[in-house]
Amino acid sequence: MRGRVARSAFALTSAGLVVLGLAGCSQSAPEQDSGDSDLSIVEQVQIDENGAEVQADASADPADPAGDGSATCPPISIAMAGALTGPDAALGINIRNGVQLAVDKHNEANPGCQIQLKTFDTEGDPQKATAIAPQIVDDQYTVGLVGPAFSGETKATGGVFNQAGLTAATASATNVTLSEQGWRTFFRGLANDGVQGPSVANYMKNTLGMQKVCVVDDSTDYGLGLAQAIRDTLGPVADSGCNISVKKGDKDFSAAVTQIDGVAPDGVFFSGYYAEAAPFVQQLRDGGVETTFVTGDGVKDPEFVKQAGQSAADAVISCPCGPASEQFAQEYTDKFGQAPGTYSTEGYDLGTIMVKAVDSGAITRPAMLDYFANYDGQGVARRYQWTPEGELTTSLIWMYKVQ
């Protein structure tokens, strides 16, 4: 894809991770935090399940939601559901903004087909999502949904959307079991934790040379699933003396810090969201634990850097989410006054596929479902084509670093 950031190789030194060499394309805008820190999350390298670098495909242009401007359609809407308020709201807002950008570009170019985006705030809570799901499916004008955003709420509502025949394309839910429920309307717009876990674990072992890793999960569907994949792939490298579970909402991690300090690992992998990762890494550093902090996509947001401050420096973050191209980053920043964040590209790409479906005449739920099931096209983040279970046919992981 165009506008990929320069890719780098990591090496583990006594001072932490250092970038050794640069290769690749022109650099995309890094995700700047909005606090006093001068740190930001910067793309490094794309990897496969063995943890080895894979060059990005730059051969195809991404789909354009504007189309040719000649589309016509009756009153119609697509929905977005995810956390728009609460401690993890930044992730949901990133998705909503991505979808909004795609819809607005479409509507501006196609006066004969005005698509409405209807947003639903689940706060990332499965119970709240369960209450909202009927509102989405009962709206006769809604032919597709981007969401839900988190794995727990997706698991809680997938059956409702499936029964209603409503295409539910998630930009961010990565729990492996979601595609194993028999839902024909489920589509995942990025790699699942069964890909992310082995990729990152092998990267830690084979590229970073770690021989002892502490794995900490937050006990959520997402955190447990990713952590299990990490532990399984690390094998004996995942030290049994610091196999730790904390809880979503925890702020005091002193017991975990003490346990990790006693083991003296080469690295710590935290499987959870940024609201807990920020105080956790702060307390690790305050406790004198300077080992490399590695984490997953639930932490890859400028809010992590803002909340953790300098404690976030040198953190390594994996994500199945694709980085923004220069053009997308500029359009997004111009519209929303901030750089795109984690899942912004996925929200945009899935929104683009939905408006393209409408433009093609897919103005009913069965037609939208058929369009997704047979879709094959390039987006900003990646190529999108799905298996019958709703998984991407090709999945890679990106590594980022706070620097």
Transcribe 277-290 into DSSP letters.
Answer: HHHHHHHHHHTT--
Domain 7-57+193-322 fold? Rossmann fold (3.40.50)
User: Which residues partner with 294 through β-bridges?
Assistant: 269, 316
Q: What is the mean pLDDT of residues 253-274?
A: 97
Taking the C-alpha atoms of residue 63 and residue 375, their distance in angstroms, rounded to an integer, is: 12
Percent of the chain with pLDDT over 70: 91
CA-based nearest residue to 293, from 320, 321, 254, 257: 257
Taking the C-alpha atoms of residue 246 and residue 209, their distance in angstroms, rounded to an integer, is: 27
The residue written with tokens 């190789």 in the block is 9
Taking the C-alpha atoms of residue 186 and residue 171, their distance in angstroms, rounded to an integer, is: 11
Same fold for the pair 7-57+193-322 and 76-192+325-399: yes
Please tell me whether the peptide bond between 366 and the residue prior to it is cis, using omega within 30 degrees of 0: no
Which amino acid, one-letter code, is at 340? P
Query: What CATH number matches the domain at 76-192+325-399, 1.20.1280.50, 3.40.30.10, 3.30.300.130, 3.40.50.2300?
Result: 3.40.50.2300
User: Which residues partner with 19 through β-bridges?
Assistant: 10
Q: What is the mean pLDDT of residues 71-76?
A: 98
The residue written with tokens 């990591």 in the block is 10
Is the confidence at residue 21, as pLDDT, over 80? Answer: no
Is the confidence at residue 127, as pLDDT, over 60? Answer: yes
Q: What is the mean pLDDT of residues 88-102?
A: 96
User: Domains of the chain: which residue ranges?
Assistant: 7-57+193-322, 76-192+325-399
Structure confidence at residue 369 (pLDDT): 98
Q: Is the separation of the CB atoms in 252 and 280 below 8 Å?
A: no
Q: Is 146 helix (H, G, I), strand (E, B) or coil?
A: strand
Mean pLDDT rounded to a whole number for the chain = 90
Angle between helices 221-234 and 151-164 (to 10 degrees): 110
In tens, the pLDDT along 128-142 reads 999 999 999 999 999
346 or 60, higher pLDDT: 346
17 or 142, higher pLDDT: 142
Please tell me whether the peptide bond between 148 and the residue prior to it is cis, using omega within 30 degrees of 0: yes
Strands (E), 83-191: 115-121, 142-146, 167-170, 186-188
For the chain, the farthest-separated pair of C-alpha atoms sits apart, in whole angstroms, at 66
Taking the C-alpha atoms of residue 30 and residue 5, their distance in angstroms, rounded to an integer, is: 9
pTM assigned to the model: 0.82
In tens, the pLDDT along 275-297 reads 999 999 999 999 999 999 999 99
Q: What is the DSSP secondary structure assignment for residue 379, as one 8-state letter?
A: -
Taking the C-alpha atoms of residue 267 and residue 347, their distance in angstroms, rounded to an integer, is: 32
Structure confidence at residue 395 (pLDDT): 86
